[in-house]
Amino acid sequence: MPGPSATGATTWRSHARAFAETRLAPIAERVDREDSLPSTIRSELAAEGFFGLAIPGEWGGSGGDAQSTVAVLEELAVHSPAVAVLLAVHLSVATTPLLEWGTEEQRATFVRPLAQGRLLGAFALTEPSVGSDAARLSTRYRREDSGFVLDGAKMFITNGGSADIVLLFATRDPGAGRGGISAFVVPRGTQGFSVAQHLDKLGLRGSETTELVLDGVRLGPEHLLGPEGGGFQVAMQALVGGRVGIAACALGVARAAFEEMKANATAEPEDWKRSVVARAFTELSAARSLVDAAASRKDAGLPFEEAASCAKLFAARAAVEIASRGLDVAGRRGAIAWSRPERLLRDARVFPIVEGTTEIQELILGRALVPAPDGLPVAR
């Protein structure tokens, strides 16, 4: 079994830190400039056991729990948020839903190779004209013989170009709302399933973000995940876990921005810079507490939806705030294109958007704190 021999979060953290410092830090600038990761990165992550984090050993997992997972994602994101996001998506919104909703046969076919890094996963909910309000999907499926035929398009899909399997959501009737949506496992190479474009992004460069097209994609019944019509629930449950992972990635960027800010303040110290560093330190500490709290609740088997939204909302905001103030502290150096402070701000700025925007986290939390009348659409 790859990964460290002891499996506590502290051990996983030091294991990931060593990998990030030796392997990711030296290539960080190149990954950003070239917007691509080394072709060997998947096999390297697999060899470290990262693809099997928090997956039970019987399904090929490498131990650890949610706290180990957030520790690993934070450490990777300090030097490469692109690698951290690749892993976060693979683990929490691709592999975990297959484990939680899959039949024994689906688990055997997909979860084991995903956990061992022999397959890469992606999650495709967003469409060219559907984002936060996921109940309005327009990618359609129809039943044919004993299987399904899918048509439509998916947009902004992380890992979309190289994923071996995509957990994808489609509706039998765009007017049917949440109850019309089903979840499908679509293998790469299925006839009619293609990558239409790779998107060039502001930040998280190196993380693949793609448009996928489905043109008469035929799937057998074994590719339906969960009950027909239960896809919205599969997606929402996956996204709650996904938010904890993305919060950890944002935390890693916030920490990198804080360390950069502190080094720049130390190089040319002034009192106003000390105040900025102090505020950033407080925000970073608070973000860490919220990420830890969400992961701890998950590990304890407690409801963690609100904790996940708090962590995602706050860590993303902290990353942007610290990286932005870091540019002030860096002064003239922060104005240089491709400089580290500039890259960190571009990376940070993507986190309030992915896996449910900040406004959507506020809606989720607000509705939990001040209950909404029945029937309101639950956006993500």
Ligand X SMILES: Cc1cc2nc3c(=O)[nH]c(=O)nc-3n(C[C@H](O)[C@H](O)[C@H](O)COP(=O)(O)OP(=O)(O)OC[C@H]3O[C@@H](n4cnc5c(N)ncnc54)[C@H](O)[C@@H]3O)c2cc1C
Catalytic residue list: 355
Rounded Cα distance, 319 and 350, in Å:
10
Residue whose pair of structure tokens reads 């709650």 in the numeric block? 240
Secondary structure (3-state) at 137: coil
Among 62, 68, 209, 309, which residue sits at the site for ligand X (rule: CB under 6 A)? 209
Residue 337 is encoded by which pair of tokens?
């294109």
- From the CB of 158, what's the least distance to ligand X, in Å? 3
Nearest to 238 by CA among 71, 55, 92: 92
| Segment lying near ligand X (by CB under 6 A), choices 62-70, 226-234, 287-295, 353-361 | 353-361
Q: How do beta strands 165-171 and 121-124 pair?
A: parallel
Residue 304 CB contacts under 8 Å (≥ 6 apart), including other chains: 240, 244, 294, 297, 298
- From the CB of 116, what's the least distance to ligand X, in Å? 22
- Contact flags string 128-147 toward ligand X, x per CB under 6 A: ---xx---------------
Does 171 contact ligand X by CB under 6 A?
Answer: no
| Segment lying near ligand X (by CB under 6 A), choices 151-159, 185-193, 287-295, 335-343 | 151-159
Does 114 contact ligand X by CB under 6 A?
Answer: no
CA terminus-to-terminus distance, the chain: 36
Q: Residue 336 carries which DSSP code?
A: S
Among 21, 215, 268, 359, which residue sits at the site for ligand X (rule: CB under 6 A)? 359
- From the CB of 67, what's the least distance to ligand X, in Å? 24
Does 45 contact ligand X by CB under 6 A?
Answer: no
Residue 36 CB contacts under 8 Å (≥ 6 apart), including other chains: 206
Looking at beta carbons only, is 222 or 362 nearer to ligand X?
Answer: 362
Looking at beta carbons only, is 18 or 199 nearer to ligand X?
Answer: 199
Beta bridge partners of 195: 212
Does 106 contact ligand X by CB under 6 A?
Answer: no
Distances (CA, A) of 121 to 14, 113, 167, 363, 380: 26, 10, 8, 28, 21
Does 379 contact ligand X by CB under 6 A?
Answer: yes
Does 361 contact ligand X by CB under 6 A?
Answer: no
Among 156, 184, 258, 304, which residue sits at the site for ligand X (rule: CB under 6 A)? 156
Looking at beta carbons only, is 49 or 131 nearer to ligand X?
Answer: 131
- From the CB of 70, what's the least distance to ligand X, in Å? 19
Q: ∠ CA 171-350-355 to the nearest 5 degrees?
A: 35
In the chain, at which residue ranges do the beta strands (DSSP E only) sit?
121-124, 140-144, 147-158, 165-171, 181-187, 193-198, 209-219, 224-225
- From the CB of 134, what's the least distance to ligand X, in Å? 8
Among 9, 98, 119, 157, which residue sits at the site for ligand X (rule: CB under 6 A)? 157
Residue ranges in contact with ligand X by CB under 6 A: 89, 123-126, 131-132, 156-158, 201, 204, 209, 350, 353-357, 359-360, 363, 379
